[in-house]
Structure 1
């Protein structure tokens, strides 16, 4: 399988995609539907929701692999940029172009609002991608009055819930080791402590975004899925693997078709780099199971 990978070194990051906004890109292949792709029943649309502040050179590796595996599938990429997502209104504005594009595909008849079989494969990364998709689900429900269309999903390194150590680990990575990190450490600890207090009193302050992601993903009134796969690692210091497994158990208890794939040594959102063969086998098998159910 690895031999079919396109070279990402020769590709300018995301240059093959149309930019709808600073946060949303689309790729529409020249050939969308052929007798062969109809027979193979590939995804009509693949939605990729990247992790927080992900660099294009990393995102493009997933996009180009999807182009190789499903060359006739439309791809939508939604980025999560922290500074543009600090409030619900900013986050909705960032996700809006993705919703508008998806609705246009529904209106044009390319996608079905109530498909008998899934036409969309969701692939989301970390808590940033989780927040993007949760916002998309909520926006779709609010604007259309119905849940997001039936789909399959791959959850990479997510969802997480609030933990002092994991939030600290996420923030401290923005500072290189040395004097700058030494100065930043007490500020980050104070900031995370404030977040912890807000989280502890959320019955007053309201639901935090991690708790909202956790809840919505197992809300069957908002999420219509044939099946989902969780890919995560015991070596991940940003999202606790035990939290992922807890969410998976809750999803299974709700009646969702769940697959869990734990990696032992890969770090956060690096499972593909650790074992690409296994990673993409999980992804393709997730879609194949969706079509078989």
Structure 2
């Protein structure tokens, strides 16, 4: 990913963009999947938010292959720099609220939007939310949540499909390293799912699907889903079933289903980019579309 002026590297895979005139409390959190984390796709998302929310800071959490296979505790610990940045923003809003006599209004409330892309992005978002709740003892206030090409299902087969997606290039151009990584994914997942079978722990996919809607972790009631029938990694029916679950839990839900765009690739088409702009208008500005 090519980073432009205004970015600060907070950690190995965490970057924070600060505009020239940031507005207190405004933040967009982008959690890309492994497959697009180092590509121009992320630049498209950044450009989208720099245009739609020009005074907001942008926090980018890029997952790694090794990180996805590490323990939950290690993944949550890796979120400390991101949690620090978010706590700084929340504290700014608290100080502003105190300065105006403790009144809560649109000028003192944080305006934060979370955009999770693919299962890797969902994993990062979940770890961040858990790390923040443990630190602050409160849920994260959001104006909205975007679930993009995710969440997928929780079965072993679907977990393998999601994790091996990023290894496709390796298998064809980096022999035999790609094969070894593919074997490693299956070996680790086999151990994980065997452990799950004999304990009370949930499969990663089930954990992500539940956590992202957990009011203990997140203070939000608006969510927008993007999915595609042509997605070879995330089954669109899993995305829409999660949308149904959110609606049953009282969320205000909107979903958009394409029929020909690839996994995490909806934004690359001009017509679909307009759909993203509409979603941000709906969530960020709180406007009807």
TM-score bin, normalised by smaller chain: 0.7 to 0.9
Provide the rounded CA distance (Å) in 1 between the counterparts of 2:162 and 2:123.
18
Matched, 1:70 2:87: no
Q: 8 Å contact 2:160–2:185 — kept in the other structure?
A: no
Shift of 1:120: 0.8
Q: 1:88 aligns with which of 72, 75, 100?
A: 72
Q: 1:15 aligns with which of 4, 20, 27?
A: 4
Unpaired segments of 5 or more residues in structure 1? 1-11, 35-42
Q: 1:168 aligns with which of 155, 161, 167?
A: 161
Provide the rounded CA distance (Å) in 2 between the counterparts of 1:45 and 1:179.
38
Q: Partner of 2:277 in structure 1?
A: 281
Provide the rounded CA distance (Å) in 2 between the counterparts of 1:133 and 1:191.
21
Provide the rounded CA distance (Å) in 1 between the counterparts of 2:276 and 2:248.
27
Q: Partner of 2:149 in structure 1?
A: 157
Provide the rounded CA distance (Å) in 1 between the counterparts of 2:238 and 2:194.
18
Provide the rounded CA distance (Å) in 2 between the counterparts of 1:224 and 1:290.
15
Q: Partner of 2:237 in structure 1?
A: 242
Number of residue pairs the alignment of both structures matches: 271
Matched, 1:52 2:71: no
Q: Deviations over 1:216-262 (max 9, x none)?
A: 12222222213010001111111111111111101100001111101
Shift of 1:162: 2.8
Matched, 1:231 2:226: yes
Q: Sort the Cα spacing of 1:63 and 1:91 in 2 relative to 1 into closer, same or farther, 3 A.
A: same
Provide the rounded CA distance (Å) in 1 between the counterparts of 2:56 and 2:263.
27
Shift of 1:67: 1.1
Q: Deviations over 1:20-75 (max 9, x none)?
A: 111111111122349xxxxxxxx811111111152143312211221122211111
Q: 8 Å contact 2:221–2:250 — kept in the other structure?
A: no
Q: Secondary structure at the match of 1:108?
A: helix
Q: Show structure 1 runs of 4+ deviating over 6 A.
A: 114-118
Q: 8 Å contact 2:32–2:63 — kept in the other structure?
A: yes
Shift of 1:122: 0.9
Q: 8 Å contact 1:169–1:237 — kept in the other structure?
A: no
Matched, 1:137 2:129: yes
Q: 8 Å contact 1:232–1:261 — kept in the other structure?
A: yes
TM-score (norm 2): 0.81
Q: Partner of 1:192 in structure 2?
A: 186
Q: Partner of 1:98 in structure 2?
A: 82
Equivalent runs, 1:10-49 vs 2, <5 Å: 13-16=2-5, 17-33=7-23, 44-49=26-31
Tell me whether 263-272 or 61-70 shows the greater mean CA deviation: 61-70
Matched, 1:258 2:240: no
Q: 8 Å contact 1:154–1:286 — kept in the other structure?
A: no
TM-score (norm 1): 0.80
Matched, 1:108 2:102: no
Provide the rounded CA distance (Å) in 2 between the counterparts of 1:161 and 1:90.
23
Q: 8 Å contact 1:47–1:121 — kept in the other structure?
A: yes
Q: Secondary structure at the match of 1:168?
A: helix
Q: Secondary structure at the match of 2:79?
A: helix
